[in-house]
Structure 1
């Protein structure tokens, strides 16, 4: 290669490097501008009197970001009322309990209504019962008040393939029930006590919030699901409808100013997260069939797989999982 050709190649390389440097600077500048605009728009939106709407969808977990959002809404003077848009089959009882308590904290200082979409079952209904007014469509699904524990007995499968699992335990009930052997009666009795303790608490919560006797609540708490119409007759729902009914209740029953804008409020990501980056992440999650609202890949995968630890209140338990649902 001649000196002239070598010089030309170097100049071409410099031009390419310069182009990509400029492109990188432009991209960063756009990201900063987008983030600043989103932050400014968010501040403007939250500074005006409003009704805050929070969507609670999919699997119910102990979502710290959601809990922080609910706590902020409780203290924001511009938020005159809160509506929970619920569309969930349930999830962990700890998740339902924590969100229920956050909802009750808001209701101590401002009106809260629950608007049921397709369904608010199990822990989803637990959260709805924390509101002062529950609105559902005629064909929505509500109820499924109860708790379930499922575990796998793979002992016959292991025997078939010639695998034997041994264990040395400090006590007979340690790590019971085990998937490696049939559950002893003592373990079944232990789990039943656990289930019934949580069940009694759940039923008492519904009885208190829906102004029922324990007997009336237990009659509905056999795991049955109800349509919105049936729920209205059974006093699990206060009214049929949607946003208009929620507005009517806020304005006529709780004295909220008419025609306040309803602002969708979402949990904030931790750290400095540009809106365009968050949008790109949501788009990628959506392509792979994951929940685009998830703040991290771990959360998105767990929601997709239905991974639930601990006590769970769920209308549609996912097959193959070993946990209390």
Structure 2
């Protein structure tokens, strides 16, 4: 029987892929098991990465470390411009709950602004790099008006509604002053909730914080001078500080939340799905609602090392 080269090539590729993921899965399993026996004096790292759209994974990771007696303290590593109000508040609440059992420090990476800063406030102390972008203590809602565009292409829209404000924020018409006032009240209340958190955790008066809590961003060094940040340093600095606070002698064992997979096939599909999801969601807009989000991220502004953009 003649062997078809294409079929054999596909079979060989599938075999190599299977061997590769088997190796990765095995190493992950071994590393995970080994960490359980290395030390009872561990420092856990929980990452808050990217725009905060959902709190589930971060909250579960915090809860996992809260139940692990070998983890003596947790570093909340933040690299986020903020995001959804509710998701940011849920992470904040989970950190405050964890602090009843463990010591928690916040460590800022490249950016920890708006909702990212709100989350950082839950830490016992906040450590930032001198060049970290932080602050942006504010709340914002976004709306788009396409009425003129639709008119130019000859498209007309009609709305039938049951209440005066049912289509508030509609993209097909200009917002009324009454509607703007109503939405402004929502944003102002969300903003006051943010201020309450900052005032509660930082030694800053309400009058002082209002003068700087207008959406502006700061470097880590500026934030320290204003009392928004406690120390300047990188992640390793925060780890060593926490190790000292919890009484760990020498270099601590640093651990991350473990992902558990029921089978090799489950691991393969989860990894593939995660990659595809990451690619497909890059250009997605935020969901409707009020956000604790640094506005420059919304406008896709980036800050380079030479501070040009």
Higher mean Cα deviation, 42-51 or 32-41? 32-41
Aligned residue for 1:38? 28
Aligned residue for 1:231? 223
Q: 2:48 aligns with which of 56, 62, 82?
A: 56
Aligned residue for 2:259? 268
Matched, 1:313 2:304: no
- Report the Cα distance in structure 2 between the residues aligned to 1:117 and 1:177, rounded to whole angstroms: 35
TM-score, with structure 1 as normaliser: 0.80
Q: 2:131 aligns with which of 135, 139, 157?
A: 139
- Report the Cα distance in structure 1 between the residues aligned to 2:81 and 2:230, rounded to whole angstroms: 20
Asked if the contact 1:59–1:303 (Cα under 8 Å) also holds between the matched residues in 2, the reply is no
User: How many matched pairs?
Assistant: 297
Other structure's SS at 1:60 match: coil
Cα distance, 1:87 vs structure 2: 1.4
5+ long unaligned stretches in structure 1: 1-9, 282-293, 321-325
Other structure's SS at 1:115 match: strand
Matched, 1:77 2:43: no
The 5 A counterparts of 1:1-325 are 10=1, 12-13=2-3, 28=18, 31-32=21-22, 34-47=24-37, 48-49=39-40, 50-263=42-255, 265-266=256-257, 268=259, 272=263, 277=268, 281=272, 295=274, 297-298=276-277, 300-315=279-294, 316-319=296-299
Higher mean Cα deviation, 66-75 or 12-21? 12-21
TM-score, with structure 2 as normaliser: 0.84
- Report the Cα distance in structure 2 between the residues aligned to 1:302 and 1:269, rounded to whole angstroms: 24
- Report the Cα distance in structure 1 between the residues aligned to 2:170 and 2:96, rounded to whole angstroms: 38
Cα distance, 1:46 vs structure 2: 4.1
Cα distance, 1:242 vs structure 2: 1.5
Over residues 170-212 of structure 1, what are the superposed CA-to-partner deviations in whole Å (9 max), with x where a residue is unaligned? Answer: 0110021111000011211111111011111011011101133
Structure of larger gyration radius? 1
Cα distance, 1:131 vs structure 2: 0.7
Residues 203/267 of structure 1: CA separation in 2 closer, same or farther (3 Å cut)? farther
Alignment RMSD: 3.1
Cα distance, 1:214 vs structure 2: 2.4
Other structure's SS at 2:227 match: coil
Aligned residue for 1:290? none
5+ long unaligned stretches in structure 2: 301-309
Higher mean Cα deviation, 81-90 or 297-306? 297-306
Asked if the contact 1:59–1:91 (Cα under 8 Å) also holds between the matched residues in 2, the reply is yes
Residues 154/21 of structure 1: CA separation in 2 closer, same or farther (3 Å cut)? closer
